[in-house]
Amino acid sequence: MADLAAQFVSQILKLNRDYQPLDRFYLTNRVYALVGEQLADDATPDLLDLTAALVEAAVANEKIGDTPTEREILDAALMDLLTPRPSTVNGDFWNQYQVSPQAATDYFYQLSRQNDYIKTRAIAKNIEFPVTTDYGDLEMTINLSKPEKDPKAIAAAQQQAQTDYPKCQLCMENEGYRGRLGYPARSNHRIIRFTLGGETWGFQYSPYAYFSEHAIFLNQEHRPMVINQHTFTNLLEIVRMLPHYFVGSNADLPIVGGSMLTHDHYQGGRHVFPMMKAPLIHEFKVAGVQAGIVKWPMATIRLISDTPEKLVNAATTIHNNWCNYSDESVDVRAYTEQTRHHTVTPIAYRNGQQYVLDIVLRDNQTSAQYPDGIFHPHPDVQHIKKENIGLIEVMGRAILPARLKTEVQAVADYLIGQPVKIADYHKTWVAELQQRYEFTAENVQTILNREIGLVFARVLEDAGVFKQTTDGQAAFKRFVGQLN
């Protein structure tokens, strides 16, 4: 029976066309150099199991220390042997693109799963469930996939020489990067290059995907995010290039923006979000383009046209107006002194031959009453969600913190009379639930799932600058009424 190295080399020759059978001895020695030569002869047909066994062997052979960081770096280095060179991957992608855009993304997505850049086993740990609300079926996810930070690695990283290479985790220099204490291994990372607006951009998948084929589009240059006319043009060009994907951008201001404002990038993928299914409740035109207010908790204008250039003009009109628009009656203020508060979260997708551009209005003001943000989850819902509401959640897919898995289980046990403690910040919510329901072991989880979804709907309502109320919609119509 072949040892683990021989089995792994057979997988390399099967999956990486940069190598031929003549390379077997060379590859075997590469694997031995990484993990040691004392290897078991057990048959391990699953590739991820095989790689895990090689990592364990490396620890036993004292090739690496038994730490999460060293294990991650070795795992990525082994998977790098399975992965064609960046130039090969790019060539294969664009060859497949000649067949169809979907054939190209299918190829790249499968490769990124196969070589464990997309952490399929970790992602499978996430908890997902839909919840029916007044805004349709919202999507709840409790994110359990990202590994917890290793305290020893954090402490050790503070002692090592600091480096600004790569500048951030979205830079193209991450492609093939070995990794280090406190910084992820990227040896098996590949990026598809393409031209966008006369610049070089990259397309990759997210290692810890929040939805199907979760993609990231990133500028080759490390520069801050910005929303402007160029952004709208870029988003529509991407969905022209990949018509089966949506693409959107986080806002470019703190509180209402994403977690990576220092590198210009977009997110996209192959998923239909709840917001995309929401109907229009008031129709009008902007710059000659059909438009409408969406029945959605966050203030959203939908633009529809078969001509992308017209959508760009309409979106630019909305953005420029919104950046300078105030309505004190609903706490909407474009500026306080010299500080700008308004921006948008734009999302582009296709509906047959038509292009759709959803423009979500954002305001990042704070106040004495709401120091975290006037249009941010308010304190009474922060026991479920207190983080920024970014692009994915704007569209109706909740990314809830991992703490909720154990906390909600404790709440469930408490509600059916078990002697358990619950977090103090859940107690008001629990008391209110006890007033409305008779809980049993059979119904408690179903009720809690639904109530979590209703809290998330409230989170989105808090983030909405024009509320789904009579006064809120009247204010929204005043804004759209002055666009032309």
* Structure confidence at residue 152 (pLDDT): 59
Residue found under tokens 């008779």: 438
Going from N- to C-terminal start, the domains of the chain cover 4-66, 223-375+468-484, 398-463
Q: Are 391 and 267 in contact (CB under 8 A)?
A: yes
User: What pLDDT was estimated at residue 17?
Assistant: 94
Q: What is the pLDDT of residue 164?
A: 86
What pTM was computed for the model?
0.95
In degrees, rounded to 5, the angle at the alpha carbon of residue 241 between the alpha carbons of residues 240 and 245 is 80
Kindly give, in sequence order, each residue whose CB lies less than 8 Å from that of residue 339, ignoring residues fewer than 6 positions away. none
Helices 4-15 and 24-35 pack at an angle, to 10 degrees, of 130
**Phi/psi zone of residue 470: left (φ > 0), alpha (ψ -120 to 50 degrees), beta?**
alpha
pLDDT-flagged residues of the chain (< 70): 1, 147-161
Spatial contact of 53 and 44, defined as CB atoms under 8 Å apart: yes
DSSP state of 467: -
Q: Which of 8, 186, 190 is nearest to 82 (CA)?
A: 8
How far is residue 224's CA from residue 121's CA, in Å, rounded to a whole number?
33
pLDDT at residue 470, as a whole number = 96
Q: Six-digit token pair at 194?
A: 């393409």
Under 8 Å CB-to-CB from 9, ≥6 apart: which residues? 24, 27, 28, 31
Cβ atoms of residues 209 and 123 within 8 Å: yes
Residue 314: the pLDDT is 98
**Two tokens, residue 190:** 């590949």
- CA dist., res. 299 & res. 291, Å (int): 13
Distance CA 5, CA 29 (A): 9
Q: Where are the alpha helices (DSSP H) in 210-266?
A: 229-241
pLDDT at residue 2, as a whole number: 75
Residue 241 pLDDT: 98
pLDDT for 334: 96
CB 222 within 8 A of CB 167: yes
- Strand segments, DSSP code E, in 369-451 are 397-400
Element (H, E) at 102: helix 101-114
Preceding amide of 45 cis, omega within 30: no
pLDDT at 117: 98
